[in-house]
Amino acid sequence: MKTLKNWTLQKQSDHHVELLVDSQHTLCVYVLEENLFRVLIKRKGELALDRTWSIAPQQDVPWEGRHREDLSGFTLPGWTLTEQDGTVIVATDSLRATVHQPLWLEWHYRNAEGEWQPLVNDRPTSAYLLNAHGDGVAHYQSRRKDERFYGLGDKAGDLQRNGKRYEMRNLDAMGYNAVSTDPLYKHIPFTITRRDDISFGLFYDNLSSCWLDLGNEIDNYHTAYRRWQAEAGDIDYYIFTGERVLDVTKAFVRLTGKTLFGPKWSLGYSGSTMHYTDAPDAQNQLMNFIRLCNEHAIPCDSFQLSSGYTSINGKRYVFNWNYDKVPQPKVMSQAFHDAGLHLAANIKPCLLQDHPRYEEVAAKGLFIGDSESDAPERSSFWDDEGSHLDFTNPQTVNWWKDGVTTQLLEMGIDSTWNDNNEFEVWDGEARCHGFGQQIAIKHIRPVMPLLMMRASLEAQQQFAPNKRPYLISRSGCAGMQRYVQTWSGDNRTNWDTLRYNTRMGLGMSLSGLYNLGHDVGGFSGDKPDPELFVRWVQNGVMHPRFTIHSWNDDHTVNEPWMYPAVTPAIRSAIELRYRLLPYFYTLLWQSHADDEPMLRPTFLDHEHDAQTFEECDDFLLGRDLLVASVVEPGQRERRVWLPDNETGWYDFYTEEWFSGGQWITRDAPLEKLPLLVRAGAALPVSERITFVSAKDDDTRELKLFPVKGVGTTSGLLFEDDGESWGYQNGNALWVEWEMTCNGTTIDLTINTRGDYRPAWKTLTISLPKDEKRHLRINGQLIDAWKFAE
């Protein structure tokens, strides 16, 4: 690749400055917000791809993509341009970029004292490179010793990314090693750089396969650096600052789009396994699941149909029902609905070459096209070859929506599980319709799953317009949070996976994917032994997505009752999940409304505590619940670091109080998941330990964990009917509370807004058993709050 070197100032507009580089390329520095800039390089004045599907600062992008020159949704603040000593300085009151000669950029931020401080700078030697023959781009930045790197979506290994090299090339990584396998399923070239004085985000809006080196590579001819390199496309990156890591994560979600607010039942236990639908009597197997849940008193809200229901002779064919296995899909769906369970069906975006509808779809031109002929492109897929649907073709989108509607929704299926959608099309020049403007697949491969899930979502919305949709997708790119819940893919059963899946989930959460989980119990390989299974369930119930899923080598099924000796411990963990559903649902609301992560590394709310940055197996669910999963065999005690805060922590079970900033050891018998609660919190809990039903959920308790001594804290409980769009018109209930503590009294002030009235009419307030202070609710010495008559 060729280094870009010499530049001249070419143009200044209201929102950006343009430089002419090496007499042929254009470098644009955009000022989008006070602390958000964008750098874009146009090779010979042209863009390799003139659209984006990830940038959505105010509303969703058009189907055909958002034009890269579109700046709507940004405030576009005032800024200054200064030419000084052969440099150009572009600055707002908060952030400034200095362009040096030969080409490299230096960034500064303004601190609280009003002083400009170094943020980051490009490598002064060879900062920007373009392949002279049209493909391949790279960007190098200098790297400091006091920086910690996070992000990049679903990456294996430790949460901190320093010293590693990662690849973005969506793969179906069946049975991956959670410690080391790379690449994996998602394409999110977004990093958070954390320092003690400032944090910043860096997002490369490029959808071709790429590499990010965060200190693995060194070169004697250059100072320490980090590198982003893509096989095609444009250099187009966004850089933005935040006082804390949390600020950067939330800013990234605001940049790429809000989290979908799904139905409440999506937070319940979801059963799944490949073996039920692979069995010759799949319908009987599935119906038996309902009976077994009742027999073993396991609460459940949904079941995910693996792709075996579409099979012909062992292979899978999307939108095809195997009526030998499932002779009565509508009868089966109704049985699940009668039991209070919803069904999600697995669908795949590739038609095998002998698919019953392959020729029909090919004749309509709905597949991605071969680069050298008029035939559909063919790739390896599920023990054969097949052709991938082209979701940049509106006719394909309509065909897909029709299939979702007629083959699934009209059969009683409630939602779609968008799977195997990595689009492993390795001919980079394979042709995509591009909504009328042909695009090579190498530029937009991760967009295909994004558009696939969007088509599924629109089909669901059109079929049931009064219900909020719930969808699942394994693959995608930045912005997929607008449409789906996701998970960490086809993991392998072992203790390492349990440990490192947690870190993978936190990495996804820091990267804007808040609604996530893992295949509990492990998907592939050996079945989990009883101890591993219990610990995995205990960990899984504390994730937004709680699904037990498996394809065990010995054809066994991971089910809550698979080991009778530990079924009570499994049941207890799932019951805990259902008790906490009001808390989970409030967190889901806050992730949608306020861009707050549901899963949080402990440092996210305690950056002043250096110990929280050490790699660990703990995480926060919301701000208030500290989860200390047991991830080692034979462990019956758990040593936990309590993040240093001003209020301390309570043991969730014993209600003992501990100061923050210390190690404690908690008992961890097999049937117990160690949990701590932030002092000053209030956890809403339910007594309904069965499937979600707003009309039957008639009790609500607010468990107070007051600060010791003096202090004021606040929080929220969100309630609605669990599935409609009513909240958009105020038909929801926001219960806002403030707790003020002193030496003698705990004053709880409760205010509400919204028109919705839940089945519960009384909010019972409870205190730790050793709490001796008087409780007053809205000024009265009472222990429950009721709606005003």
**Dist. CA 601–CA 618, nearest whole Å:** 7
pLDDT of residue 121: 98
| CB-based contact 463:412 (threshold 8 Å) | no
* Residue 402, domain member (yes or no): yes
Whether pLDDT at 787 is above 90: no
**Dist. CA 748–CA 553, nearest whole Å:** 54
**Dist. CA 395–CA 361, nearest whole Å:** 10
pLDDT of residue 215: 97
pLDDT in tens, 336-360: 999 999 999 999 999 999 999 999 9
pLDDT in tens, 688-712: 999 999 999 999 999 999 999 999 9
Whether pLDDT at 503 is above 70: yes
Cα separation values, 263 from 315, 485, 732, 735, Å = 33, 11, 13, 19
Give the domain CATH number at 335. Answer: 3.20.20.80
Residues 243 and 389 in one domain: no
pLDDT in tens, 41-100: 999 999 999 999 999 999 999 999 999 999 999 999 999 999 999 999 999 999 999 999
Per DSSP, the three-state class of 705 is strand
Give the domain CATH number at 712. Answer: 2.60.40
**Dist. CA 522–CA 520, nearest whole Å:** 5
Full 3-state SS string of 586-652: HHHHHHHHHCCCCEECHHHHCCCCHHHHCCCCEEEECCCEEEECCCCCCCCEEEEEECCCCCCEEEC
Give residue 414's region: left, alpha or beta (phi > 0; psi -120 to 50).
alpha
Residue 307's nearest CA partner among 287, 297, 322 is 322
Residues 61 and 202 in one domain: yes
Helix 567-579 vs helix 581-594: angle between axes, to the nearest 10 degrees?
50
- The HSE-up count of residue 539 (CA atoms within 13 Å, CB side) is 30
Which whole number is the average pLDDT over 535-542?
98
Instruction: State the DSSP code for 185.
Output: S
Show which of 426, 454, 469 is a domain's final residue. Answer: 469
pLDDT of residue 789: 54
Whether pLDDT at 445 is above 60: yes
Which whole number is the average pLDDT over 271-300?
97
In the structure, what pLDDT confidence band is assigned to residue 135 with cuts at 50, 70 and 90? Answer: confident
Residues 355 and 439 in one domain: yes
Whether pLDDT at 772 is above 80: yes
Cα separation values, 88 from 18, 84, 459, Å = 11, 6, 50
Residues 164 and 46 in one domain: yes
Give the domain CATH number at 130. Answer: 2.60.40.1760
Whether pLDDT at 756 is above 80: yes
Specify the DSSP element, H or E, that contains 735.
strand 733-741
Helix 495-510 vs helix 245-256: angle between axes, to the nearest 10 degrees?
70
Q: What one-letter code names the amino acid at 18?
A: E
Residues 203 and 126 in one domain: yes
**Dist. CA 236–CA 206, nearest whole Å:** 7
Whether pLDDT at 589 is above 80: yes
Which whole number is the average pLDDT over 222-242?
97
Give the residue numbers spanning the domain of 742.
693-786
Tally of structural domains, the chain: 3
* Residue 482, domain member (yes or no): no
Counting residues of the chain whose pLDDT is more than 70, the rounded percentage is: 100
Residues 345 and 201 in one domain: no
pLDDT in tens, 356-407: 999 999 999 999 999 999 999 999 999 899 999 999 999 999 999 999 999 9
* Residue 572, domain member (yes or no): no
**Dist. CA 145–CA 724, nearest whole Å:** 50
**C-alpha distance across the termini of the chain, in Å:** 73
Instruction: Give alpha helix (H) positions in 164-315.
Output: 245-256, 274-278, 282-295
Which whole number is the average pLDDT over 114-124?
97
Give the count of beta carbons closer than 10 Å to the beta carbon of residue 696. 11
Cα separation values, 603 from 259, 446, 492, 659, Å = 22, 31, 28, 17
pLDDT in tens, 600-632: 999 999 999 999 999 999 999 999 999 999 999
pTM of the model as a whole: 0.98
Per DSSP, the three-state class of 15 is coil
Whether pLDDT at 131 is above 70: yes
Residues 226 and 363 in one domain: no
**Dist. CA 618–CA 605, nearest whole Å:** 13
* Residue 553, domain member (yes or no): no
pLDDT in tens, 166-218: 999 999 999 999 999 999 999 999 999 999 999 999 999 999 999 999 999 99
pLDDT of residue 7: 97
**DSSP code per residue over 83-102:** EETTEEEEE-SSEEEEEETT
Q: What mean pLDDT, rounded, does the chain reach?
A: 97
| CB-based contact 486:515 (threshold 8 Å) | yes
Whether pLDDT at 270 is above 70: yes
Which whole number is the average pLDDT over 462-487?
98
* Residue 678, domain member (yes or no): no
* Residue 240, domain member (yes or no): yes
Total residues found in the chain within this entry:
789
